[in-house]
Amino acid sequence: SKKKIAVLVGSLRKESVNRKLANEVIRLAPDSLELEIIEIGQLAHYNEDLDANPPAEWVEFRKKIGEADGYLFFTPEYNRSTSGVMKNALDVGSRPYGQNKWAGKPGAIVSSSMSPLGGSVANHALRQPMVFLNIYMMQQPEAYIGNSWELFDEQNNLKNESTKEFLKNWVNAFAKWVYKF
Ligand code: FNR
């Protein structure tokens, strides 16, 4: 049976290249995976006080995270880390205390940046909370996508075949990883 993969995008801007890459990976993924972007921009800042009567969007988000068989994270690099919205989503999904929805599932990260470094620092910063959340992260192949603003044309098509080939191999490797669990 197909594995349900929740896809999170850490940039909220309309023209986000991370979102374009997420959509490309969704197109390139093998049939064994069913991928869906789960929105995170609407989630209120995590505040423990709210957990007595959590906002509806937290409840819905936690349900979707709990139902997923795995996770893909597309992160920008903001000031040499992941974005605040991405970290907030991790925190919301990890609570209330004792009900971490992420635990025991496989995951993987794509980072991308307009710089040639491809958001590598954000990629690794995001790996740190995954250890405590107990998401089993794919280690290889890594995905650091540099010069991201040059990748897509006006119709949001990837301009170069080599990036498409790379992403296809990467998501195929992730599918194999998912089926190990
Ligand atoms: C950036 N950017 C950036 N890039 C980078 O390589 N390292 C960094 O530390 C930062 N820091 C940073 C901070 C903030 C607040 C912003 C808004 C941007 C640039 C970033 O790579 C670029 O905006 C990407 O295009 C963001 O990804 P999306 O929005 O295209 O998905």
Q: Which two tokens stand for residue 149?
A: 């603003």
Range of the domain at 20: 3-178
Mean pLDDT of the chain: 98
Classified as helix, coil or strand, 115 is: coil
Ligand 1: residue whose CA is nearest its atom 5 = 77
Provide the CATH number for the domain around residue 95. Answer: 3.40.50.360
Please, where are the H alpha helices in 11-110? Answer: 17-28, 56-67, 84-93
Task: Count the domains in the chain.
Answer: 1
Whether the CB of 12 sits within 6 Å of ligand 1: no
Whether the CB of 16 sits within 6 Å of ligand 1: yes
How far is residue 31's CA from residue 166's CA, in Å, rounded to a whole number? Answer: 18
Range 136-163 average pLDDT: 97
- Ligand 1 center to 115 CA (angstroms): 8
Q: Which two tokens stand for residue 80?
A: 């040499």
Residues forming beta bridges with residue 131, ordered by sequence position:
none
Range 132-143 average pLDDT: 98
- Backbone φ and ψ for 30, nearest 5 degrees, come out as -70, 160
Ligand 1 test: best mutation among 20, 85, 114, most atoms within 8 Å of CB?
114
How far is residue 85's CA from residue 74's CA, in Å, rounded to a whole number? Answer: 12
Ligand 1: residue whose CA is nearest its atom 16 = 78
pLDDT of residue 57: 98
**Is the pLDDT assigned to residue 1 strictly greater than 90?**
no
Whether the CB of 115 sits within 6 Å of ligand 1: yes
Whether the CB of 150 sits within 6 Å of ligand 1: no
Residue 149 DSSP label: G
The answer to whether the CB of 136 falls within 8 A of the CB of 107 is yes
Range 162-179 average pLDDT: 98
- Ligand 1 center to 176 CA (angstroms): 31
Which pTM does this prediction carry? 0.98
Cα angle at 53 between 48 and 59, to 5 degrees? 90
Q: Quick one: pLDDT band at residue 104, thresholds 50, 70, 90?
A: very high
Q: Which two tokens stand for residue 124?
A: 């690794």
